[in-house]
Amino acid sequence: MSQLGITQDEDHMREFFQLTDSYARRYGCRNLMASAYFNFSDFHKHSVLDNASRWDLLVASPQANGFYTATGISRYIPDMYSIIEHQFLKAARLDGRTDISVEEYSRDQWTFHGKGVWCYLDQKLPQLTMIGSPNYGYRSIYCDLETQITLIPGSSVNQQQLQTDLHEEALSLLSHSKMVTEAGLKQRIRGSPLWLYGLKPFIHKKM
């Protein structure tokens, strides 16, 4: 809620990006980031693209988006997110980032509103997990009051079990997900109304 000078979450995320980038350049690092709505702020977008870690980004498929069955103009919102996904993957390709993927959660009669980060420093179990309310978008930084908890388990048996449970949660989400490609998204959004592209700045700040 930056309008009140509350920026701890943004500051914490900036530190997270810096630390994982430094670690990844020496040893390698993999991060899974989930958001119900693929609508990164410029801060999150550039932080991911410039970060040396491997990134798996998990978002709702159009069918798992809460607006999928909406009426009126709201029914085009899933298409808007597909346009944003396509533009992001295009930017990743132009940056030469073949280690960034976007996965879409799709499960019959389910919607997806998951959010969080799983950080795998050793590529096996998450050494850091974020649980909270941010969708990692413009509103999360500049409009809403968000809260996150960052878990960094220790070496005790109970804490190792926590790591395993958090890892299994991530695997469960990914088991209902499918990776999308720039080409596939281009085909999906073909024929979308041109006015949707003009609506992107509004969606970027409001959703």
DSSP run (H or E) holding 140 = helix 138-142
Specify the CATH number for the domain of residue 101: 3.30.870.10
Roughly what angle, to the nearest 10 degrees, separates helices 77-94 and 195-206?
90
pTM: 0.93
**Which amino acid, 56?**
D
C-alpha span between 191 and 25 (Å, rounded):
41
pLDDT of residue 186: 96
Question: What number is the average pLDDT over the span 181-198?
Answer: 91
* pLDDT tier for residue 84 given thresholds of 50, 70 and 90: very high
Q: Give the chain's domain count.
A: 1
* pLDDT tier for residue 131 given thresholds of 50, 70 and 90: very high
pLDDT of residue 155: 82
Domain of residue 148 covers 2-206
pLDDT of 195 above 80: yes
* pLDDT tier for residue 103 given thresholds of 50, 70 and 90: very high
* pLDDT tier for residue 197 given thresholds of 50, 70 and 90: confident
To the nearest whole percent, how much of the chain has pLDDT over 90? 68
